[in-house]
Amino acid sequence: MRPTEIRRVEGSHLEFSFKEAESRRVSLGDLRKSCACAVCRESKVPLNESMPFFPRATSLNKIEPVGNYAMAITWGDGHRSIYAFERLFEAAPEMSA
């Protein structure tokens, strides 16, 4: 399921519109915390809001497509996460009407 539109809302959230389903919204903090790259998965200390660098680690620098199946986010701290569209759909809760 590929988003038809991705937009930043309220400064700290991404909203995804899907042709086949309701729009979904997820906070940048939750999205960064769900990064499944090897570095993040192996980290002994999970990223959390009490860390002094959390605001920079969850600031959005760039979004770009990865083929036809995913998007890459480059975060303010230079980290790059890749999220398959299906995973984004599952991770972001449905928005209330």
Domain ranges of the chain: 3-91
- b (16+ CB within 10 A) / e for 10-36: eeebbbbebeeeebbbbebbebbbebe
What number does CATH give the domain 3-91? 3.30.2020.30
Q: What is the pLDDT of residues 10-58, one digit of tens each?
A: 888 999 888 877 788 888 998 998 888 898 888 877 888 888 888 889 9
Instruction: Supply the pLDDT for residue 94.
Output: 58
Tell me what the mean pLDDT of segment 51-78 comes to.
91
Instruction: Supply the pLDDT for residue 28.
Output: 92
Q: In this model, does residue 95 exceed pLDDT 60?
A: no
